[in-house]
Copies of this chain bind each other. A is one copy, B any other.
Amino acid sequence: MNNKVYFTPGPSELYPTVPQHMQEAMAQKIGSISHRSKQFQEIYASVESSVRELLQLPDEYEVFFVSSATEIWERAIQNNVRRESFHLVNGSFSKRFYETAKELGREAHAHEVPFGQGFDVASISVPETAELVALIQNETSSGACMPVGELNQFREKAPAEALIYVDAVSSLPYPAIDFAKVDAVYFSVQKCFGLPAGLGVWLVNDRCMAKAREMQDEGLSIGSYHTLPSLLDKALVSQTVETPNVLNIYLLGKVVQDMNQKGVDAIRKETEAKAEQIYTFLEGSSIFSPAVANPQHRSRTTIVANTTIPASEVNKLLAPFDMQVGSGYGKYKESQIRIANFPAHSPEQVESLIEKLKSISA
């Protein structure tokens, strides 16, 4: 039996109801049902409707299930960029999206600020030729975030035809995205949804769909099985193109129903309260300090701290208490820790973590 509480930034602690939903899934033999059966279609339709409710998703958006957010980077470029994309970069994951565009032969431009910084949106000018503008709502590697108010400014800054993409991989459902101001938003289930990994969710509006169809009509290759039109064809009958991760789709539906029952507002308030406690501790600590200087740009869900004792040592000290935080990302592996503050982490668990981190500092 493993009693550790995972504060790692995803995969992370499972949402508390997941073990019972998994038991029910096994009892109902969800792993055996056909992805072309009516039973699967009903599960799919129910998950989609729950996700729409939780995120207050407008009707012009589609909900597509793919294998990971990494896949979404590739599909986004293939389906929505003929020639040129523009990326805000302030960490490893926003950089990876930018590099993906280049690997796929596109002309990609980046507005890059140092790791761990937010953006001065007023100073950013989007090229007139940019077809896709990649915003990073929450940079999982550095703990920097873009408040929704900053995201919302890009519709006016960007060319009228440009599609605005929002990486909310490790923050949704926390940020109350204004879906009318953007065109696509995506997330991974192993972050704030507290599920095992293996599923990415891609929310795209009618403008993204239209662009993919235009490119296809022009004879451009937009991929094979996971083109936006193929995804839509199957989504319209509550199915996927390939045999998907049925079990995770089922579990996502159950967890989102639980979240709807709790209410997204309650989840958001609790996330903010826990984040405030963590940042207050970090600011008063002699060992840890918030890695993101500007409080406005500090993520509420993936909290990154500089540490004067190596991250591996921090985890060694936490181990006897059955707790684990994330190490820093890449070259910050030992000099930073990352603390996931997801809906799965209860206020009591967060308090307990803070207490133990305090005892380390003492």
Contact = CB atoms under 8 A, between A and B. Distances in A.
Contact of A11 (B10, B199, B243): B243
A306 interface: no
Contact of A14 (B14, B29, B221, B326): B29
A196 B245 CA distance: 7
Contacts of A29: 2, 4, 6, 14
A202 to B, nearest CB: 14
A224 interface: yes
B326 A34 contact: yes
Interface of A: 1-2, 4, 6, 8, 10-14, 18-19, 22, 26-35, 67-71, 73-74, 77, 99-100, 103-105, 188, 190, 195-199, 221, 223-225, 241-248, 326
A2 B27 contact: yes
A196 B247 contact: yes
A13 B32 contact: yes
11 contacts: A6-B29, A13-B32, A22-B22, A67-B242, A70-B225, A70-B243, A74-B224, A103-B223, A196-B246, A198-B247, A245-B248
Contacts of A221: 103-105
B198 A198 contact: yes
Nearest to A37: B8
Given A6-B29, A22-B22, A68 B224 contact: no
Given A100-B224, A103-B221, A197 B35 contact: yes
Contact of A8 (B32, B199, B241): B32
Which A-B residue pairs are the 7 nearest by beta carbons?
A198-B245, A31-B196, A67-B67, A70-B242, A6-B32, A196-B247, A103-B224
A29 B190 CA distance: 13
B246 A198 contact: yes
B31 A26 contact: no
Contacts of A248: 198, 245
A181 to B, nearest CB: 28
A1 B14 contact: no
Given A4-B29, A190-B243, 6 more contacts: A1-B27, A11-B31, A12-B32, A14-B32, A74-B224, A196-B247
